[in-house]
Structure formats: structure tokens, C-alpha cells
Amino acid sequence: MKYSSTISALGLSVVVAACSQESTSPPAQQQAPGTPPAVAENPLFNASTLPHGLPPFDLITSDHFAAAIERGMAINTEEINTIASNPERPTFDNTIAALELAGQDLDRVLRVYYNLSGANTDDTLQAVQREMAPRLAAHNDSISLNPQLFARLDRLYQQREELGLDPESLRALERYHSDFVRSGAMLAESQQARLREINAELARLSTLFSQHVLAEVNDSAVLVDTAAELEGLSAAEIQSTATAATAQGHDGKYLIALLNTSDQPPLSSLSNRALRERIHTTSTARGSRGNEFDTTGIVTDTLRLRAERAQMLGYATHAHFTLENQTASTPDAVNEMLGGIAPVAVANARAEGEAIQALINATEAEPFELAAWDWSFYAEKVRRERYAFDEAEVRPYFEMNSVLVNGVYFAAEQIYGLAFTLRPDLPTYHPDVQVWEVTDADGSSLGLVLTDFYARSSKRGGAWMNSYNVQAGLTGGSKVIALHLNVPKPPEGEPTLLTFAEVTTAFHEFGHVLHGLFSDVQYPRFAGTSVPRDFVEFPSQVNEMWASWPEVLENYARHHETGERIPQELLDRVLAAEQFNQGFGTTEYLAASIVDMALHQLSPEQIPAAPDLLAFEAQVLRDNALDYAPVPPRYRVPYFSHIMGGYAAGYYSYIWSEVLDADTVQWFKDNGGMRRENGQHFRDTLLSKGGSRDAMALFEDFAGRAPDSSHMLRRRGLLVN
């Protein structure tokens, strides 16, 4: 059992740990004790025999999960009981290593279950989520609150300096002990009973929230009557909205689907101001409309339970509880960092707003005051005026397959010596998904990467990476990793053309993929991206640099019709514009981050009631001088999925990680840029280590010094010299 499964139940991680060793569970025709009758052919009962343990997606249906999870919990319970009741004195091998080896059947199933719940859900899978979320939380509690098991752990912990353990094993022991304590192992029995209730309810609320958000996105799609209202969109984009409308039974009309952020991509192109306002208003009202998908009550209940649990465990607030295990360590450190950047960011945003207002005054027959739904449209005009290009001019050079193969993969080949081969012979869970085999520099097969780029109603919003299989020396195994985007699918036969922001996102998520692919640790709990939340974004943000690196950009940025490379003068303008609109981008991000921190530094009694949630959000923005109406938070609280999952009191981590990222980019530049030696050094000292060492120690191993924040500020245009 990898204890990060229990951490997930506590809302500290959205990743469920899994073991990559082949299962030692009973064959499919046998029933584990306590497991209800199930179909013997259930493909989830045994480890996959496909390359690298790729799940047999062609055999798996949503109906298989309930029985497989039941069986996995039953097997895991027996394994834990065996460890806890072992009459021999506790040793590292019969306790810590045994815990790492336990739960493989359950973890293997849960990886597929959670991943498909986000990438390709359906009514059956959502019903399984609602049923199993509190039961899985209870199962995790039965482990973390097992007094016999904790007694063994505690005895080892007290003797840890005398055991002669290697550094990674010692870290595993210390982390297990800390996890059990933070999960309530030292609480009184009555407090543990209440903790079980809280964890079960939080699991139920988290599932309900994610399902409400997905349903609300689909329900809030904006229906448009005529093509004339869509002036500014390309012919292909208009056709996509017509196809979407027809699919929903609205023949002859046009349907604009919403993404999960407050700002919506069509706002940068639509010239119809009334439609822009309708899209923006609909977007920012999600989750607070008082309909069946309203999430405000779910959010406030979640916040109150988190605060209660933190105090029960001896912490002032949930933020104090969460940050204890992060590189930031304390809320004060995060507050100071965010508070120091916010005034500069808002000042830049207001200056950008003044430039946009000047453009409105100069070009509109009847000038109006800049509003949030105007920003993207007129910012694009300012961009064109200042840098003489717009996204429509650039997108033909960013065809999706070229971006992936000639950009993302090309960069990985140059820096790390990797090669990528399409595997159409392997099964996927959706026709739009592709499987790629990754070959290491020495010719060995490193793992599989699944690419899932198109948006659909069964898929949650945003972009992310996750793992279906992980490596660890203790268990063997390999890596199966998925990379997800949410790009609108064009009409049949049309190319998929990306914005530069979408290109950067692809490189970002592939940075997470590399973190997983290069993992070389002994214990599964430390594999890949199993690092502090405010460190996990660092390697992925580093990988963004290759999106605009001249050799890479020139290799993939080719016109999808002519094959012509992007003109150098256009390329120069694209690169020169990278700092454009940074006041807006930084301010919308900081607004969401500061609201997240404010919510999670409240006591249970201070949590606002559901009807007051948005008023609290507004007050926090005012208190921090972030109440600049044209720039709303990137996510408003009712659809802020990050803080209902693994980023609670942790959304700050993107900019915290960017300090390390910007410093690392400078290190590459100072050391010759895109050189195999540099990539190998980054891989050997940091990417391969996962969570096996202290995060900041890993950075210092790589860079040879402490991080320097000036590079991040200069990159964002927030530091003049």
C-alpha cells in the first residue's frame, strides 16, 4: 500500500499512488475473501499483459470498476492486517517495505478509475464515484488509524538513527510516520471517529463538486442564433460551433462551449460586444446560479470540514496543515511572496488597461468603459498594433501534430536523446487518443505516453498529466503516462491549429511527463511527480522554454498548407510579444491564489455561508487591491477546481515554482542552452529523483546554489533591470 492513497483521501493530493509490479493477487476466477460475486472475466482483476502494463482499454467498461475496487480493498485489508499483526519485531522490511508492496491490486485499479473519471466519464462511472469516494476514504482511514500498525511504525521511527538505513529508506520511514501522525494516528478514539466522518464527507463533496462543475460547463454553453453574431471567428471555428449545436439538437444555430477558466478564448476574436458580455457573464456565474449544479454550498461545507480537521490535528488552519509539507512551509511565507508581487502586477495591469481604453476611445464611434469581456478583444488589437501580428496570423504555423512531433518530441530528442514511435496497435479509451512508445538514448524502451488533446463533454476541463503505471526499484515495472489538453476539435478534414498559449501548455504538460518518465527511485511513494505541490510545477514550467527556443520553434512552426517555416520577422514579433499582457495574466492568477489562501486561513467559525461566498471573495480582492473589474480572478470560487482537489492552499505553487523555473532557464542559457550534457545533468540531479530527497536540496544539487527570484520578476516584466 502506497500511503499517498491515504493522503489523497485527506485532500492533499489528486494523484493516487500505484505500484507497477505485476499483480500477485488471485486469478480472475477466484474470489478474495470479503469480495462480492463478480464477473470472472473482469479485466481489472489482474495486471495487464500489454507492453509496460498499459491497461486493456478495449476490454474495460465502466461496469467493471465497482467489483474491482471492492476486491482491491478486500485484498489490501488482508495485507495490512498481516503487516499489523506480524508477531516478529518490526523491521524496515516487514513494515515499511511491506507497506510499499501492499495494495498493488487496489492501486492499479484506482489509477485507471480516477484517470478515466477525468478523461472519459459517463453516468455509470459517475455513479461509481459517488458510491466509492466515501468508502475509499473509510478504507484509507482504516489503515492510517490502525493502532497496531502505527505502533510498529512508531517503534521504528524512534529507533531510526540506529537502523543503518540508506538516505532514501530513512526518508521513507520518516514520511510514513509523519503521514500517519497527520492522518490522526495519535488522536483519541473519539476524535478518530469524528475524523473518519469528516474524511468520508470530504470525499463525497469532492466527487459531487467535480461532477457539478463538468455538468455546469456543458449546461452553460452559449447558444447563438445567427452566424452574423460570430463575426471575427474563422470559418472553421464557426463550423465547429454549428456542429456542436446540431449535436445538441439545435439545428441551424451555433453553440459556444465554455472552458473552465473565467476568460474564454472566443472573447479575443468576437466583434459582437453583446455576445462577448453574454459569454463572460455566463462563464463567471457558473456554480453560483442557484440551479441544480450550484456548488457554493459544497465549497463552504468543504472549507468548514477542512478547518475543523486541521484544528483537530493541532494546526491553526488548513493552510498551516497543508503547507507544513511544502517547500514554502508556512502561510506567512506564501502571503509575503504573493503580497510582494501583487502591487506590481496590478500596476502593470492598470497600465495595460489604460492602453486598451485609449484604443477604445480612438477607434469606437461611441466609446465605452473597458469591461472584463472587452479585455481580450482589444488586447489582441493592441498586440497587433504593437507587434504587428495577431493569433490568426500565427495559428496556421502551429498545426497540432507538428507541434507534438516536430516541437515537443523534437526538443526531448535533442535534450535527452529520446525517440517516439506511434503504436496504433495498442488499445485506447477513446478514438482521439494516441499511444506512443518512448525509447531512451541507450535504445531501451522507457515507457508509453498517451496523448489526449481534444475537448469533449465526457472530459473535465484544463490540461494535465497522470500516470497509469509507475517505476520503482522495489517493485520493478515501467511507466505509462497520459498527457491531456482541451483543444476544440475542428470539423472533419480540417487541421487542428493551436494558439501559442496552447502550444506552451503542451510543452508544459510534457514537462510533467518527463518527470514521470525519468523516475529512478527505490520506493513507489517517491516516483515521478510525488514531490511537494509547490515543487511539482517546476520541471513542467522549465520545459515551456523549448516552445520558444529558436531551433525548436523553427522546426515545428511550419505552415500547415505550404510547409513553409514561420517567417523570421514574424517569429521575432511572436517572441518580442511574450511579455505582452503580463500584468493581466499575473493579476488574474494572483487574485485566484490570494483568495485560495484567504479561504484556507479561516477557522471553522469564520467560513462564510454559501450565499456570502462571493461577497467574501470580493472583500479579499478589495483588501489586497486586486479589485480591478476588467481583470477578474482566473477562477472564481464556485468553479475553482484546483482548491477542491490537490491545490487547496496550494494554487500559489505555480508562481512559487516559477522562481525555480526562471532560474533554471537562465542556468541552461548560461551553460550553452540546448545541449545533451545539460539535459542529462538536469535528469540525473533532479528529474530522476522524484520525491526521494528534499526538494530544495535537489534544486541546489542541480544549480549548485540557492535560487534567485530576480529572473522570474524580469521574465514577467515586473523588474526593469
Q: Which one of the listed residues 70, 391, 509, 537 is annotated catalytic?
A: 509
- The DSSP bridge pattern shows strands 434-439 and 419-422 to be antiparallel
Looking at residue 286, the DSSP 8-state letter turns out to be T
Helices (H), 564-611: 568-576, 582-599
Rg (CA), the chain: 25
- Grouping H, G, I as helix, E, B as strand and the rest as coil, residue 464 is strand
Integer CA distances (angstroms), 72 to 104, 467, 556, in order: 8, 19, 45
Across 45-131, the runs of DSSP E, i.e. the strands, are none
Residues 292-306 as b or e (16 or more Cβ within 10 Å = b): ebbbbebbbbbbbbb
Would you call 658 a catalytic residue per the annotation? no
- Grouping H, G, I as helix, E, B as strand and the rest as coil, residue 14 is coil
Task: Copy the grid coordinates of residue 707.
Answer: 535560487
CA distance 494 to 11: 42
- Grouping H, G, I as helix, E, B as strand and the rest as coil, residue 50 is coil
Beta-bridge partners for 31: none
Reported as type and span, the H/E element at residue 453 is strand 445-454
Q: How far out from the chain centre does Cα 164 lie?
A: 37
Across 310-439, the runs of DSSP E, i.e. the strands, are 419-422, 434-439
Is the distance from CB of 491 to CB of 239 less than 8 angstroms?
yes
Reported as type and span, the H/E element at residue 469 is strand 464-469
| Spatial CB neighbours of 508, under 8 Å, sequence gap ≥ 6 | 463, 540, 541, 543, 544
Task: Copy the grid coordinates of residue 107.
Answer: 492501486
Beta-bridge partners for 231: 233
Residues 516-554 as b or e (16 or more Cβ within 10 Å = b): bbbbbbbbbbbbbbbbbbbbbbbbbbbbbbbbbbeebbe
Catalytic positions, please?
Answer: 509
